[in-house]
Amino acid sequence: MNPDDVARYLQENPIFFERYADLLAEIQVPHPHGSHAIPLSDRQVISLREKNRALEAKLSELIQFGEENDAIGEKVHRACLAMLSAADLPALLASLYLHLREDFAVPHVALRVWRGAAELAEFAPVSDELRAFAAGLEQPFCGPNSGFEAVGWLGEAGEHIRSVAFMPVRERADTFGLLMLASEDAQRFYPEMGTLYLRRIGEMVGAALLRFV
């Protein structure tokens, strides 16, 4: 009989140790963190303690993620209130840039809008290709800078940009702008990162801009 047969027999006959209860106290197994043998019951206690520690670590991790998400949500909420309370378009844009740079520590932010008209850099012309790129985004884009046209909006600073995030600015299905976050850090915006709050920021900017464009 091989070990697999023994394991299968015990699984199929759970009453075995009820009939031979004394056997549990006699069985010795290797200590998981040492070279000596210990009773099976002690080994089970150690196993349960290790599982408990693993569960506690997982719970602590989940609590940390929850606290971080709460903090991000609060920052998004503050930015939303600031833009909604802006008296005019320049004040709205100033609030947006301030919150992204101060609350979210984004070093470079730029926005282009191709609806309406205003004597602001945000309304400078963009290419048809960029409009098509923005319209085709089903969710925010995050990844390395691969020579995007939008990086040129940053002037000389664009030469040092290594990663970017793009959020389409929309009114329902009509895309009328593009918000860009950029960084010299190649790992700041990466393809696998979560985009929930980036999407919400893009939606928030689109809704706030509708008052003025």
Query: What pLDDT is stored for residue 63 in this prediction?
Result: 80
Both tokens of 152, joined, read 């040129």
Measured CA to CA, the distance from residue 181 to residue 96 in angstroms comes to 12
User: Among 170, 155, 174, 157, which residue's Cα sits nearest to residue 202?
Assistant: 170
**Domain extents for the chain?**
20-85, 88-209
Confidence class for position 29, pLDDT limits 50, 70, 90: low
Measured CA to CA, the distance from residue 35 to residue 18 in angstroms comes to 30
Range 86-115 average pLDDT: 95
3-state secondary structure of 179: strand
Domain 88-209, CATH class in plain words: alpha beta
Average pLDDT, the chain: 86
Verdict on whether the full-model pTM lies above 0.85: no
How many residues comprise the chain?
Answer: 213
